[in-house]
Amino acid sequence: MTKLVVMGVAGSGKSALAARLAEALSCPLIEGDDFHPKESQDKMRNGIALDDADREPWLARLGELMASRPGSQVLTCSALKRRYRERLRLFVPELLFVYIDIDVATAAQRVGTRSGHLFPKSLVTTQFAALEAPTGEPGVLAVSARLAPQQQLEAVLRGLANSTQRTSSRSTA
């Protein structure tokens, strides 16, 4: 069983990679943005950055959702701060994260080309300001947004296979 959160700032490609991972792992995809409370969605549409208080009920809802569903699943969630990731891990201790690393200019360009999305280009810099990159955290696989989508998928699947092998060898030792 694999429970994954594909994380990163807006425009990093979370939804695209998560969809590919869910298909490759034959498991459900949970689009985290769909679970923001209406008030938070309105704030973002109006160019107002969310704060910790806005994110708390969203994170709790996502954590409860993942914990309540059996089997493998893939969730998209910005999970910008370490405490957000720890909050999700309270619900699902074995949770793994896939961090998509991207630069500000590329993220802003990508967000600027999206139509109909609740997150405006003007908020991209606020996400980078809040971001606490998960470098060195256990249970995190990092991939570059510069990689082609198939390369990202293959890198994550290799990382998952390697982490499964390490866990299996520890339990049989």
To which H or E segment does residue 15 belong?
helix 14-24
The mean per-residue pLDDT over the stretch 36-43 comes to 90
Percentage of residues in the chain having pLDDT higher than 70: 91
What domains does the chain contain, in order, with CATH numbers?
A: 3-172 (3.40.50.300)
Helix (H) and strand (E) counts in the chain: 7, 5
Which residue in 141, 143, 106, 144 sits closest to 127, CA to CA?
Answer: 106
Separation CA 166–CA 112 (nearest Å): 41
123 band by pLDDT with thresholds 50, 70 and 90: confident
Q: Which of the pair, 153 or 169, is modelled with greater confidence?
A: 153
pTM: 0.90
Q: 137 — phi, psi (to 5°)?
A: -75, 140
Separation between Cα atoms, residue 14 and residue 154, nearest integer Å? 15
pLDDT in tens, 76-92: 999 999 999 999 999 99
Place of tokens 């990679």: 17
pLDDT at position 146 over 70: yes
Q: Which structure tokens are listed for 165? A: 């092998």
